[in-house]
Amino acid sequence: MPARAAAATTAALLGAGALVLPSTAVAETPAQETRVRAAAAHDEPLVVAHRGASAYAPENTLAAIDKADELGFRWVENDVQRTKDGVLVVVHDDNLKRTTNVEEVFPDRAPWKVKDFTAKEIAQLDAGSWFSAKYKGARVPTLTQYMNRLTENGQRLVLEIKKPELYPGIERETLRVLRETGWLDRHHVKHELVVQSFSADSVRQVHAQRPDIKTGFLGTPAVAELPTYARFADQINSTHTSISDDYVGEIQDLKGPHGKPLEIFTWTVDEAAAARRVADFGVNGIITNKPDVVRAALRD
């Protein structure tokens, strides 16, 4: 009996009211019952624009989140790392080579690691031309610049703390920037923010420092390990090729640290068939480079 929707907790994230399951609904297993309730709550998973609308604009730039906004998507995802002088910047790789002209501007600075450059130096780099001449001159934004643009656009954020082992203390610094940009008030924390990482320790630190923030662990832990993660993570966010209907059900049968059913946002889904497949599993969210393709697939 396939599930057709995101879980009820996504609706709660979006401010939906209480749910009532019709008396005629019958689930074959507890996992399927959870997803039947989900279907009653919300007819689609949440669609999150991965690194902004990164199929159409250079990833993690202000142009990418503006493009997501133009396409009508309120939720975006990004990656945060730290410069040599302690400024948080939005960039995916710990190396600047792939998405900037750093080799041209600083030819003698190999291997061009983010942590080896100051914020002023990174601000000189072109982060758009690699993608398209249309975006020549786009810059690597600081986290402060990025958060301010999200506020201007009225968008929401899944923030990934990237490679925290390279940047001791980055969790506290990320929370500081979020506070300074107005993102740790009650409304943002409750409705507009998720902080995630591949590092369980990093997620645990965020939860310890700000227990009210919704957190996500990136990975696909064994089912037996899920209760451990549920102590400090509200989401288990797995690659779409690693999950199944049963695995999604196992996640959603547990409650996270805020007493609500654990969620799953799956990534990176860019094909219509894959979007429909994971939607049938009942995932809460789909992270995608092509949010318009996924939206169309879910509504087909």
- Catalytic residue list: 50, 92
Instruction: Please measure the distance between the N-terminal and C-terminal CA atoms of the chain and give it in whole angstroms.
Output: 20
Q: Return the residue matching tokens 């320790």.
A: 201
Distance between CA atoms of residues 46 and 10, nearest Å: 7
Report the 10 Å Cβ neighbour count for 84: 15
Task: Tell me which residue of 288, 212, 185 sits closest to 195, measured CA to CA.
Answer: 212
Nearest-CA neighbor of 62 among 34, 40, 91?
91
Distance CA 94, CA 91 (A): 8
What distances in angstroms separate CA 104 from CA 26, 98, 126, 181, 207, one per listed residue? Answer: 62, 12, 10, 33, 41
- Looking at the DSSP bridge assignments, the partners of residue 46 are 285
Name 286's Cβ contacts closer than 8 Å, sequence gap at least 6: 45, 46, 47, 48, 240, 265, 266, 267, 269, 275, 278, 279, 294, 298
